Structure 1
Amino acid sequence: MNKITVNEMNHVRPAAVAGLFYPGQPEILRSRVTRLLDEQHQEQHRRLIPSALVVPHAGYDYSGGVAASGYSLLASDPDRARRWRRILLLGPNHRVPLRGIAAPKADLFATPLGSMAVDQTGLAELQQRFDVQVREDVHALEHCLEVQLPFLHELLPSAKLLPLVVGQERPEPVADLIEWAWDQKDILVVISTDLSHYHSYDEACRIDADTEHAILALRSDIVPEQACGAHALNGLLLAAHRRCLSAARLALCNSGDTAAPRDQVVGYGSYVIF
């Protein structure tokens, strides 16, 4: 297994879906992110200090508002948000088969708004403690983490990333890794996942309601047909159950509510663990 060394500097992971999933021009993107955040009002939950956020990763036309409902908890109190100096970002593999958990080789993740640094020292510690492999191929074209970066760059520009793609993996190892992150006190956990895929509108609403019930109950038995990021999500829910935390819904809809027909829709949910 290749090990990360902190001396490998300036290896940049270029933005792969800028101009596709979100605007590629910096000023247009910044305006879009700002508008999405301004449109979200989480008065009921704005005083919560999140231990983790669950947010979707489709194009901003489809799920940007739902994602912003989660990130608005950081925007509501910038001074409080600055406690997060690192972000453990977990999401599923869409393009390259993967068993286990994969870290990038990159030192920087590029976005149209600027680059975000990877916490190589933290990744090295994760490799020592957990079964984390370095897979540049897994990260190269993966969009699920990338689409979160414009929000994170806007809200936490100095935070460093711990970006991991979670393939087929049991909840327990993922939960162990997340609990390690929480023990560091300066790490916000972000799980990137969409919900059901390509069902009729009514069927998707039923499936996503069942999935939401599992999330709010902190059950770690969600399957990929319910959420494409199920393996990372289950780890989060198990860790939250172990720590006696709670979950709350911030937003729930599907692509039939936002920017697509209702014959084959994708579900999107945003949740906070606190």
Structure 2
Amino acid sequence: MPQKGTREATHAGSWYDGRPSVLSAALDEYLEKVPTTVDGKELPIPKARVIIAPHAGYSYSGPCAAWAYKSLDLSSAKRIFVLGPSHTYYLKGCALTTFASYETPFGDLQVDAETTEALRATGKFDTIPPSSDEDEHSLEMHLPYLWKRLEQTHGKDNTDKFPPIVPILIGDNSGAAEKEFGRLLAGYLGDPENAFVVSSDFCHWGTRFQYTRYVPAADRLDELRALSSSRRGGGGGDNTTETPIHEGIRVLDKMAMDAVESGRHDDFVENLRVTKNTVCGRHPIGVTMAALEAVGGGPFKFLRYERSSLVETVSDSSVSYAAFYAVV
């Protein structure tokens, strides 16, 4: 199937500024606020070819994503895989784009047609419907950041040196299916000429997300319960909380992030089975963790954790964001 057409930057002007100069300045500001060293290593971290970064509007998650992108080593990248969840249609398995390029306010990033076709030829991938591709934000939100980091790596006037991308939507898969896709992508992940961007937010908390679970501490997981939307947190009955609700959310996210850092795919799957934490990119993370295990790379290292707001009552809501890198 030949790749054709350009996917428009459908979220420019709403989820992030569509004016190139304004967007560039915003990304520069986010990146400049990240320290120049992490874990005693100067950024970007050599061989940190894999990151997890959030995909919300830049005013919410842009600062957190900057930690992942400033750590990302693109110096040897000949192609960049971008793995994200599907928010626009139900997907079982994984799916590939039909577009030949993806628009950003800075210019178009080309799709690696040869790699995409090689993956399609395995018979393991579906095709993303073009309308769903254009509606989806989990891939698009990473492209301006990638352009910025490629500029910093190769220079603004050397866009011909920018590597192509391989966009993949990762759907609703069992742990076993994640391992299968992880093994399939392991050869690419183990290649030093490939970089991987994994798109995910963490806990989506609130009645609008149908997730109001609370636990006071990680070692008291047997007390995990859902707070009722009929009363406010701390107002008595089932909604009395020992700590602020937002601290309970932090506990749940910390357990999920610890599972990511464990490097053990099974631990991550089990954590989400128990807590039901609404990590929207759980399957892209799971597939990548399985691939890292297959090649003996990683594990992921934690960089940053932020939230859109601090929940005080059940009527509040928040989305959590986390950044990681992995050396392969």
The CA deviation at 1:176 is 1.8
Question: Given the alignment, which residue of 61, 74, 77 partners 1:81?
Answer: 74
1:102-117 equivalences under 5 Å are 102-117=95-110
Question: Given the alignment, which residue of 54, 59, 62 partners 2:60?
Answer: 62
Q: Which residue of 1 aligns with 2:289?
A: 237
Deviations 1:121-145 (A, max 9, x none): 1100111235112222331210011
For the residue of structure 2 that corresponds to 1:256, the secondary structure is coil
Question: Given the alignment, which residue of 148, 161, 166 partners 1:162?
Answer: 166
Q: Which residue of 2 aligns with 1:219?
A: 264
Query: What value does the CA root-mean-square deviation take over the aligned residues?
Result: 2.0
- One-letter amino acid of the structure 2 residue matched with residue 72 of structure 1: K
The CA deviation at 1:56 is 0.4
- One-letter amino acid of the structure 2 residue matched with residue 211 of structure 1: A
Q: Which residue of 1 aligns with 2:211?
A: none
Question: Given the alignment, which residue of 105, 112, 123 partners 2:116?
Answer: 123
Q: Does 1:188 align with 2:241?
A: no
Q: Which residue of 1 aligns with 2:234?
A: none
- One-letter amino acid of the structure 2 residue matched with residue 227 of structure 1: V
Q: Is the 8 A contact 2:78 2:164 kept in 1?
A: yes
Question: Given the alignment, which residue of 144, 158, 174 partners 2:181?
Answer: 174
The CA deviation at 1:256 is 1.6
- One-letter amino acid of the structure 1 residue matched with residue 283 of structure 2: H
Q: Which residue of 1 aligns with 2:25?
A: 31
> In 1, distance between residues paired with 2:295 and 2:148?
30
Q: TM-score, normalised by structure 2?
A: 0.75
Q: Which residue of 1 aligns with 2:320?
A: 267
The CA deviation at 1:107 is 0.4
> In 2, distance between residues paired with 1:146 and 1:175?
22
- One-letter amino acid of the structure 2 residue matched with residue 66 of structure 1: C
> What are the ranges of 5 or more consecutive residues in structure 1 without an aligned counterpart?
75-79
> In 1, distance between residues paired with 2:249 and 2:186?
32
Q: Is the 8 A contact 2:308 2:319 kept in 1?
A: yes
Point out the structure with max Rg over C-alpha: 2
Q: Which residue of 2 aligns with 1:248?
A: 301
The CA deviation at 1:94 is 0.6
Instruction: Give me the identity figure in percent.
Output: 24
Q: What is the total number of aligned residue pairs between the two structures?
A: 260
Q: Which residue of 1 aligns with 2:143?
A: 149
Q: Is the 8 A contact 1:175 1:235 kept in 2?
A: yes
For the residue of structure 1 that corresponds to 2:99, the secondary structure is coil
- The list of structure 1 runs, each at least 4 consecutive aligned residues, that deviate by more than 4 angstroms after superposition, is none
- CA gap 1:186/1:66 in 2 versus in 1, 3 angstroms: same
Q: Does 1:198 align with 2:192?
A: no
Q: Which residue of 2 aligns with 1:41?
A: 35
For the residue of structure 2 that corresponds to 1:191, the secondary structure is strand
> In 2, distance between residues paired with 1:153 and 1:51?
16
- One-letter amino acid of the structure 2 residue matched with residue 65 of structure 1: P
Q: TM-score, normalised by structure 1?
A: 0.88
The CA deviation at 1:272 is 0.7
For the residue of structure 1 that corresponds to 2:66, the secondary structure is helix
- One-letter amino acid of the structure 1 residue matched with residue 323 of structure 2: S
Q: Is the 8 A contact 2:49 2:74 kept in 1?
A: no
Q: Is the 8 A contact 1:195 1:268 kept in 2?
A: yes
Please say which of residues 21-30 and 165-174 is displaced more in the overlay: 165-174
Q: Is the 8 A contact 2:186 2:294 kept in 1?
A: no
